[in-house]
Amino acid sequence: MTQTGHSGETASFGFREVPRGEKQSLVRGVFDRSARRYDLMNDLMSLGIHRVWKDITITRARPRPGEHLIDVAGGTGDLARAFIARAGEKPGPAATAIVADINEEMLRAGIKRGSAEGIEWAVANAECLPFAQESADCVMIGFGIRNVTDRMQALREMHRVLKPGGRFLCLEFSRPVTRAVSRAYDLWSFRAIPELGALVAKDRDSYQYLVESIRRFPHQEAFAAEMREAGFANVKVTNLSGGIAALHTGWKV
Ligand SMILES: C[S@@+](CC[C@H](N)C(=O)[O-])C[C@H]1O[C@@H](n2cnc3c(N)ncnc32)[C@H](O)[C@@H]1O
């Protein structure tokens, strides 16, 4: 059996094991506290590279006019905005998107940013999506899946809402593939990121959780196996920046 982000009655919350029922509210606390500074911190922590990774994700999604996207754990809506804009470069009806996130504060921060035509914002848990079966042409989750308590349930839900022939893309931090990248990345993430969190967001603990949760997430091939187990076909992995992040893609057939 493949790993699903928990063992028995506990789930990982960073390097800690916590009662399974508590993980969701602990994660919600992290994003409640970081929502206001989320976009700025994203740029600082990744030195802006998250924008490049998201751009690659959108290119791989091949958005088309009139398509409907569900951006799960969509936060402030970067992927949804980019999907709609890219689809709009071709003639035809506008694409639409739902940004679904468990955390209202994150959605509010996204709405505040403006320019969100075609986007609906929905408070929703990835493990239990309030959307109709086979309703989306594309489902994405960006830097969200590692926060979910029952990863397999969330994968099954994302598969359920996808139309046959639809595509799924998961962008997530992953495992560096060379020792040199791994060393530099360890230094940056364990030393610099919690300091940045303390300085800019006045919240070291949330950013400590962030770097720890990345280390607890399964490596590229293990996560690809979970996607297959959830029903996705033709699963592919693309390492980004030497495996610091990875883009997993799959199809519903
Ligand atoms: C690191 S942010 C990523 C936001 C956005 N996708 C991006 O790439 O900028 C992770 C998001 O996952 C959301 N989240 C965590 N657990 C969730 C769950 N069970 N269901 C839905 N969203 C969840 C958080 O509220 C947060 O907005």
CA 55 to ligand 1 centroid distance, Å:
18
Domain ranges of the chain: 6-178+206-251
Q: Cα of 91 to ligand 1 centre, how many Å? A: 32
**At residue 205, does pLDDT exceed 50?**
yes
User: Does domain 6-178+206-251 sit in CATH 3.30.420.40?
Assistant: no
Burial of residue 215, with CB atoms counted within 10 A of its CB: 0-12 exposed, 13-18 middle, 19 or more buried = middle
Interval 156-173 mean pLDDT: 98
What is the rounded average pLDDT of the residues 70-98?
97
Does residue 198 register a pLDDT over 50?
A: yes
Mean pLDDT across the stretch 118-147?
97
* Ligand 1 neighbourhood includes 27 CB (under 6 angstroms): yes
Q: Is the pLDDT of residue 5 over 60?
A: no
**pLDDT recorded at residue 129:** 98
Nearest CA to ligand 1 atom 25: 103
CB of 102 closer than 6 angstroms to any ligand 1 atom = yes
Nearest protein Cα to ligand 1, atom 15: 147
Residue 2: pLDDT over 50: no
In this predicted structure, the answer to whether residue 225 has a pLDDT above a threshold of 90 is yes
pLDDT at 4 over 50: no
Query: What is the rounded average pLDDT of the residues 68-96?
Result: 97
Percent of the chain with pLDDT over 90: 79
Confidence of residue 3 (pLDDT cuts 50, 70, 90): very low
Cβ of residue 103 lying under 6 Å from some atom of ligand 1: yes
pLDDT of residue 10: 92
Q: Say yes or no: CB of residue 74 within 6 Å of ligand 1.
A: yes
- Quote the pLDDT of residue 36: 82
C-beta of residue 248 within 8 angstroms of C-beta of residue 223 = yes
State the pLDDT at residue 8.
63
**pLDDT on residue 29:** 86
Q: Please say if the pLDDT value at position 146 is more than 50.
A: yes
Give the mean model confidence (pLDDT) for residues 119-137.
Answer: 98
User: Atom 26 (ligand 1): residue with closest C-alpha?
Assistant: 75
For residue 171, the CA-to-ligand 1 centroid distance in Å is: 12
Cβ–ligand 1 contact at 203 (below 6 Å) = no
Question: Does residue 153 carry a pLDDT above 50?
Answer: yes
Name the more confident of 43 and 223: 223
What pLDDT shows up at residue 38? 81
Is residue 195 pLDDT above 80, yes or no? yes
pTM for this one? 0.93
Atom of ligand 1 nearest to the CA of 31: 25
Using the atom order of ligand 1, give the atom closest to the CA of residue 42: 9
Q: Is the pLDDT of residue 220 over 70?
A: yes
Decide if pLDDT at 115 tops 80: no
The average confidence (pLDDT) of the chain is: 93
User: What ligand 1 atom has the least distance to the C-alpha of 106?
Assistant: 27
